[in-house]
Amino acid sequence: MCLSLMEEQWDIAIILDACRYDIFKEAYEQYLPSGKLEKRAGASDTFEWLHTVFNGGRASNIVYVSAHPGINSKGVAWGNFNASERFYRVYDAWLDAWSWGLGSALPNKVARIAVNAIAEHPKRKVIIHFIQPHFPYRKAPCPSTYFDLRCAKSNPEMAILLERFARNLIKSLDFNFSRFRIAYWKFKKLLRLNFLEDLNEIYWRKYSVDDLKYFYRDNLEWALSSAMQIIERFSDHKIVITSDHGEALGENGEFFHLYKTKNPVVRVVPFWRNNLALQQ
């Protein structure tokens, strides 16, 4: 399963954040070479995935190219996970590839950073963590949320601190009130209360389920087209593509990914291997 990524045989592991199995299955053959797709168990969110996969300090030989601000080289821990102490080196692609208009890291720029990182460390395993298909969606950008770091644009360390604070706050709310989150959103919408919105609620309020699925698939294909650049450049490497968790888009009354959810569309993720990685 993807939660035992460290037991698999690979040289390059590509993580597509919030990638659900079913939509990946529909799209991947347009972008990836021949290989094998399997269904694996994932976490409920990135934080849980990090602690499960890299528990026990087993990642000291890994180079991590991160489009996720919580996984950084600045020495700022996300919760109690300090990436700079876990991995051999962390590339802050989240900072170098950031788009202030979108509120996220651009996957094509992340791919270029990854290609350089792999070339610089030919004897080490490399993980490339793309934010997409996770929102913000490029066809529905909405960067004025906790995911937007523009208020700290000139101070990367402060940007990470703000990101950590906001995500820990939201995680706490999810853990304690996840059963009531949609009801709370409905109550606020009914009363026309617009304060304390995060991007989850903004998308839920503004778009239909069909809209969200369209935006989500577009983000996934955007990430796959960028991942393809890495796969083509390093076709002589064992490469896997998987995800930390999936994404609910209305299934079982849930949207996005709640901390500790049991929703199968969040807990089931793809695990694709190229032909070299299949030769174990």
The DSSP output letter for 56 is T
* Tens digit of pLDDT at every position of the chain (280 positions): 456 798 899 999 999 999 999 999 999 999 999 999 999 999 998 989 998 999 866 688 999 999 998 898 888 777 788 899 999 999 999 888 988 778 789 999 999 999 999 999 999 999 999 999 999 899 987 654 444 444 445 555 555 555 554 555 455 444 444 556 666 666 667 666 665 557 787 888 889 999 999 999 999 999 999 999 999 999 999 999 999 999 999 898 888 887 778 899 999 999 999 999 888 6
Q: Into how many domains does the chain fold?
A: 1
Computed over its alpha carbons, how large is the radius of gyration of the chain? 18
Pick from 226, 32, 57, 43: which is nearest to 128 by CA? 226
104-105 and 98-99: which strand pairing? antiparallel
3-state DSSP assignment of residue 4: helix
Matching residue, tokens 């064992």: 238
DSSP string covering 64-116:
EEE-STTS-SSS--BTTB-HHHHSSEEE-HHHHTEETTTTEE-HHHHHHHHHH
Q: What is the CATH number of the domain that holds 152?
A: 3.40.720
Sequence-distant (6+) residues with CB within 8 A of 227 are: 14, 16, 31, 32, 107, 111, 128, 130, 241
Check: CB of residue 40 under 8 Å from CB of residue 154.
no
pTM of the model: 0.86
Pick from 244, 87, 252, 88: which is nearest to 178 by CA? 252
Residue-number span of the structural domain to which 233 is assigned: 2-278
Rounded-to-integer distance, Cα 93 and Cα 91, Å: 6
